[in-house]
Amino acid sequence: MPLNAELGAFFASIPLPRYEGEPAAFREKMDAGMAMRPVMTEVPRIEDRTVPGPEGAPDLAVRVYAPSTEPGLPVTVFYHGGGFCIGSIASHDPVARKIAAAAECVVVSVEYRLAPEHPYPAAHEDAYAAYAWVREHAAELGGDPDRVAVAGDSAGGSLAAAVCLMARDRGIAQPTFQLLWYPGTGLDAGAHATKPNDPLLPAAALAWFGEHYFAKLTDEQRREYGAVGLAADLSGLAPAHIVVAGEDPLHTEGVAYAERLRAAGVPTGLDDHEDLSHGFLSFADFVPPCADAAASSYAALRDALAKG
C-alpha cells in the first residue's frame, strides 16, 4: 500500500535524517531541533530525577509525567526509540506527554545509555534496572506498584519486550502490560530488503544502528534479550499490544513476534497501520492519520492499566 498522502506531504516539508558519521553529532542536531518544538500537550506535573542504574553503572536520568495529582495512578515505564544510538528524554518528550494524558497514567521516561559509547547490553540492563526500581518505588511517584506497564517505540519497543523476558528470568513481577510500537525483534527473515525506502528507517539506517550497538554480533550472540523474537521460550510474559506500520522494514518482525507470543499463550493485540511509516508516533501532533493510529494504542494501554 502506498504511504499515506498526508504523512508523505509532511515528510516532504521537513529535512529527513541522514544516518552517517558518529551518533554523537546526530544527537546534537536532534536535541537542537527539539528545543525549538512547541509544547503541544500540557501535563500538570513533570519532574526530572535519577534512579539507580545497574550494578557498577551510573545512575539513570528519568523524567516523570503525571496527568493529575491523585495518588495511586497506574504507571508506564517508557523507553524512547533511536536505534540504541540516538534519541533521549528530550526527543520523546511529546510522546511521553501524550501517553500520560491519553492513558491516564504516570509515565517514567528513561534516559538509557547509548551506543557506540555503550554497546549491547548496556541499554538493556539500564531498561531492566529502571523497571525494577519503579516496581519498588512507584508509590514515591504517585503511582500504584501493582499496575506498572512498559512501553517503547522502535528500539524502545525492543527494550520494553526484553524487560518482560528479563523480569521473568530474574524472578521479579511481570509488567501489567507491554505496549510495543514497531519493535525490532530479530524475526526479519530477510524482510528488511523488501521495504528499503521507509523515509524514517531506510536500509542505511538499519545498518548504521546495528553496527554501533550490536557491534556485528550474530543473532545467536544477541539472544535472548537482544533479539527477543529468537528467545526459545516466550511463555509467562505480560499481555502485549504490538503496533506496526506497513511501510516499515520492521513490519514483518512485529507481526511475527505477535504470532509467537500468541503461540506461547500470551494475550496479544496487533494494530497494523498499512499506509504509515516507521516513527509515525512522533508525528501525531502534526499528521491526523498518525494521531488516529496512536489513539488506539493509547486506549489499549489505558484499558489494560484500568483493569490492573
CATH of the domain at 159: 3.40.50.1820
Q: What is the pLDDT of residue 189?
A: 64
The closest of 209, 81, 106 to 157, measured between CA atoms, is: 81
Q: How far is CA 1 from CA 117, 181, 196, 248, in A?
A: 38, 20, 14, 11
Per-residue pLDDT tens digits for 177-187: 999 999 999 88
User: Which residues are bridge partners to 106 per DSSP?
Assistant: 75
- For residues 124-147, give the mean pLDDT: 97
User: What residues have CB less than 8 Å from 150, skipping those under 6 apart?
Assistant: 76, 77, 78, 79, 131, 160, 163, 164, 175, 177, 178, 179, 238
CA atoms within 13 A on the CB side of 92: 31
3-state secondary structure 162-209: HHHHHHHHHCCCCCCCEEEECCCCCCCCCHHHHCCCCCCCCHHHHHHH
Residue 292: all three cell numbers together: 488516529
Q: Choose, from 88, 91, 109, 154, the residue flagged as catalytic.
A: 154
Query: Is residue 102 very low, low, confident or very high in pLDDT (cuts 50, 70, 90)?
Result: very high
189 phi and psi angles, rounded to 5 deg: 50, 40
Q: Which domain holds residue 61?
A: 5-307
Query: Is residue 215 very low, low, confident or very high in pLDDT (cuts 50, 70, 90)?
Result: confident
Between CA 123 and CA 125 the distance in angstroms is 6
Contact 249, 203 (CB under 8 A): yes
- In which residue are the cell numbers 523524567 written? 63
pTM to 2 decimal places: 0.97
50 phi and psi angles, rounded to 5 deg: -125, 155
Per-residue pLDDT tens digits for 27-41: 988 888 877 788 999
Task: State the DSSP H helix or E strand holding residue 256, giving kind and residue range, or none if neither.
Answer: helix 251-263
β-strand 143-153 against 178-181: which pairing, if any? parallel
How many structural domains comprise the chain?
A: 1
Q: Would you report the helix, strand and coil content of the chain in percent, each value rounded to 5? A: 40, 20, 40
**Could you give the 3-state DSSP secondary structure of residue 273?**
strand
Residue 238: all three cell numbers together: 505480560
State yes or no: pLDDT of 194 exceeds 90: no
- For residues 203-228, give the mean pLDDT: 83
State yes or no: pLDDT of 104 exceeds 90: yes
Contact 244, 255 (CB under 8 A): yes
- For residues 53-64, give the mean pLDDT: 98
- For residues 62-91, give the mean pLDDT: 96
Rounding to the nearest 10 degrees, give the CA dihedral for residues 277, 283, 286, 291. Answer: 80
Of the two residues 308 and 109, the one the predictor is more confident about is 109
- For residues 64-72, give the mean pLDDT: 95
The reply to whether 158 belongs to the active site is: no
- In which residue are the cell numbers 544477541 written? 222
Sign of the dihedral through C-alpha 204, 117, 120, 279: negative
State yes or no: pLDDT of 174 exceeds 90: yes
